[in-house]
Structure 1
Amino acid sequence: MKRILIVALAVALAFPARSDEVQVAVAANFTAPMHQIAALFEKDTGHKAVLSFGATGKFYAQIANGAPFELFLAADDETPARLEKEGQGVAGSRFTYAIGKLVLWSANPELVDGKGEILKTGNFRHLALANPKTAPYGAAAIESMTRLGVLNKLQERFVQGENISQTQQFVVTGNAELGFVALSQVTKDGKLTAGSAWVVPADYYQPIRQDALMLARGKGKAAPAALLAYLKGDKARAVIRSFGYDLR
């Protein structure tokens, strides 16, 4: 009997008194790292993160219309700030969990040069990018092409994705020879996973500060609070760094 009580006590200490789920809206560029973080989070806390991935602008519309999300991991800092101001988020909960990087990428290992000169030579038919109205990485792509002076010349070649995941798929499937995606989608531990790429200089576009926000539906609940805290911890930050993001 004593042995059974000891085992029961150990189990009780290893997990929270009540395990729960947290509904999380996650920017598409953060798909791979968030899957890893969610698995670690569940292992360490017992809480389960239920993840939905998509474009930040579309998530804003869904949250404003009552979607049952409790946490929002956006691809920018403006959208969470707007939701907080409008009363859809918990005041004081917002923070930058990652700083994203833009890359011009092709599945063809010979296509993209190390300086992005292919954008000027135009030796391709189609260029993929995310919708700049709803996806911050798409807006960063427009800024970068404007800086390079090639925007007007290339506009007729655009293949536009609803979010950064669909944009990458356009390149993977050959619907576009190259495209602007998030560095996190094509690198791991500092190495390119496939193809060829040019990391766009950070001063070509506004910093992609990606903010997390506790939404009104998550206020006072254990699982959302636990995940928000977990994102600030060493394990989550190590995962985020491994996918090429900068941290504050």
Structure 2
Amino acid sequence: MKRLVPLLIALFTTVCASADEVQIAVAANFTAPMQQIAVEFAKDTGHKASPAFGATGKFYAQIANGAPFEVLLSADDEMPARLEKEGHAVAGTRFTYAIGKLVLWSANPDLVDARGEVLRTDKFKHLALANPKTAPYGAAAVEAMTRLGVLSALQSRFVQGENISQVHQFIITGNAELGFVALSQVIKDGKIASGSAWSVPANLYEPIRQDAVLLGKGKDKPAATALLAYLKSDKARAIIKSFGYELR
């Protein structure tokens, strides 16, 4: 037994030395899937994922100003490409990890109809959406309303959230009767978990291609490169798909 103890200590030290932690900036719409992926990532690799959730536009500004993130999971493909072009991300590491879907959702099960015609009515006073300048899902909502021809009529009813998570909270708390959220926020077991929803047709907004990229600060971090590889694994892709995202 005395001989075994040093061996166990040496083994434990080796494992700890190889284990690493990655700081990830994650688009707010991807909160629930990332929380699950982080657990499985730790189990399967021994590395720890430490995600921060927020608006993609704000993360871009923080990263450009030296924030200590090592991986970005964006809500679009524009910000990762821009960071790569500006030298803040590692060239050749960018890929689409999910394609998001926009949903008009209400906590009221009787408010949103199957064709989104509620937007042309006076059945609500407040419509929540994420800041279109910093949140891609907010930009997609504006684009959809523009193509529907209802944007100008609805602008006075907007309640704007900093990110898609805040929009969801506005609706749950009743600060807005309905709003545009990500399908991933309201789906469970392949169905809308509660309330009422209209899945906005894909032809009303540009595809929400969500790209991941290795940032400059993660270039030499084993956990950072491991996480990006893990997102391409069958297990991670199954989790992503279960939240209603499409995959490439």
Pairing 1:120-139 to 2, within 5 Å after superposition: 120-139=120-139
2:201 and 2:42 map into 1 onto residues whose CA distance is: 36
Match of 1:178 in 2: 178
1:16 and 1:222 map into 2 onto residues whose CA distance is: 13
Match of 1:230 in 2: 230
What's the offset of the Cα at 1:180? 0.2
Deviation digits for residues 197-247 of structure 1, max 9, x if unmatched?
A: 000001100000000000000002110010000000001000000000000
What's the offset of the Cα at 1:121? 1.7
1:25 and 1:195 map into 2 onto residues whose CA distance is: 30
Paired residues of 1:104 and 1:116 also in contact (CA < 8 A): yes
State percent identity of aligned pairs: 74
SS of structure 1 residue aligned to 2:18:
coil
Q: In the alignment, is residue 246 of structure 1 matched against residue 229 of structure 2?
A: no
Paired residues of 1:189 and 1:244 also in contact (CA < 8 A): no
What's the offset of the Cα at 1:189? 2.6
Q: What letter matches 2:106 in structure 1? A: S
1:124 and 1:43 map into 2 onto residues whose CA distance is: 46
What's the offset of the Cα at 1:122? 3.0
Kindly report the root-mean-square deviation, in angstroms, between the aligned alpha carbons of the 2 structures. 1.8
What's the offset of the Cα at 1:17? 5.6
Paired residues of 2:77 and 2:209 also in contact (CA < 8 A): yes
Aligned residues: 245
Match of 1:193 in 2: 193
2:189 and 2:74 map into 1 onto residues whose CA distance is: 23
What's the offset of the Cα at 1:4? 4.9
Q: What letter matches 2:54 in structure 1? A: G
Paired residues of 1:56 and 1:79 also in contact (CA < 8 A): yes
Paired residues of 1:16 and 1:45 also in contact (CA < 8 A): no
SS of structure 2 residue aligned to 1:169:
helix
What's the offset of the Cα at 1:16? 8.0
Paired residues of 2:20 and 2:221 also in contact (CA < 8 A): no
Where does structure 2 lack aligned partners over 5 or more consecutive residues?
Answer: none
Match of 1:61 in 2: 61
Deviation digits for residues 154-209 of structure 1, max 9, x if unmatched?
A: 00000000000001100000000000000000002311111000000011000000
1:110 and 1:37 map into 2 onto residues whose CA distance is: 34
Q: What letter matches 1:74 in structure 2? A: S
Match of 1:29 in 2: 29
Q: TM-score, normalised by structure 1?
A: 0.95
Q: In the alignment, is residue 153 of structure 1 matched against residue 123 of structure 2?
A: no
2:147 and 2:108 map into 1 onto residues whose CA distance is: 25
Match of 2:48 in 1: 48
